[in-house]
Amino acid sequence: MLIAVIFYFSESGDRLKQKHYQAWQVINTAQGKGGSGGRLEALQELNHDGVPLVGVDVSGAFLQSVHLERARLLRSNFSAADLRDGNFNFADFSDANLRTANLRQSHLQGASFQRAEMDDADLTGADLSGADLSGASLNDADLSNTKLSNLRWRDLGGVKNANIYSVKDPPEGFLTWATQHGAVQISSDAR
């Protein structure tokens, strides 16, 4: 019995590597396909184990309610992904592609979107409190009803045609600056 226990613990590192390899295999095999394809669970598992998700490509995936708090998602591709109700608090999306991503009602507090492409993203009702949008592009994005308290926006790359209707707690000067740079305020009823 003692020998079996010793072998079990001595092989635990190999089992963890195998688990991570299988999770990456699920993510990479489903690349370019719609639906979840097991990616939601695989991403959460890798992130839970502290594995960086740098460069991950889940474009077009259905990942509603995914939990990737504090995830390292630099240079990742989430374009056209359905991320509604996701939890990305304090995640790092630097240089990521989030074009046309659905981030409705998502938790993005303290997340970093430095130089991220977020054109045409749907951020309706999301919480961007304390997020860093330095260099990010939000052209044609929908920010209606989004929480923006303590938002870092001074070096924002673009907001042309971004909808800032009824944003909550905008930082001082943001609405004026955004409007001067092409943002609009249109209620969803008028669209």
Alpha carbons 49 and 172: distance in angstroms, whole number: 39
Residue 8 within any structural domain of the chain: no
Residues 128-142 as b or e (16 or more Cβ within 10 Å = b) = bbbbbbbebbbbbbb
Please, are residues 102 and 84 in contact by the beta-carbon 8 Å criterion?
A: yes
184 is a domain residue: yes
Mean pLDDT of 42-51: 96
pTM, full prediction: 0.89
What SS3 state is found at 29? helix
**Residue indicated by tokens 């998700």:** 53
Domain assignment of residue 57, given as a range: 52-191
The per-residue pLDDT for range 112-136, each reduced to its tens digit, is 999 999 999 999 999 999 999 999 9
pLDDT in the model for residue 1: 56
* C-alpha–C-alpha distance, residues 31 and 53, integer Å: 14
Residue 41 domain-assigned (yes or no): no
Residue 189 lies in a domain: yes
Please list the residues that pair with 60 across neighbouring strands: none
72 close to 52: Cβ distance less than 8 angstroms: yes
- Would you state the pLDDT for residue 10? 52
Name which of 11-15, 103-107, 110-114 the model is least confident about. Answer: 11-15
pLDDT of residue 18: 86
Counted domains in the chain: 1
Identify which has the larger pLDDT, 42 or 5.
Answer: 42
Higher per-residue pLDDT: 121 or 11: 121
Q: How far apart are CA 87 and CA 71, in angstroms?
A: 10
18-45 mean pLDDT:
88
Alpha carbon distance 137, 56 (integer Å): 20
Whether the per-residue pLDDT at 6 is higher than 70: the answer is no
Residue 167 covered by a domain: yes
Per-residue pLDDT tens digits for 144-191: 999 999 999 989 999 999 999 999 999 999 999 999 999 999 987 655
Percent of the chain at pLDDT exceeding 90? 79
**pLDDT at res. 61:** 95
What does the pLDDT read at residue 16?
Answer: 80
Residue 191 lies in a domain: yes
Within a domain: residue 27?
no
What pLDDT does 5 receive? Answer: 44
Is 26 within the bounds of a domain?
Answer: no
In CATH, what number is assigned to the domain containing residue 168? Answer: 2.160.20.80
| % pLDDT > 70, the chain | 91
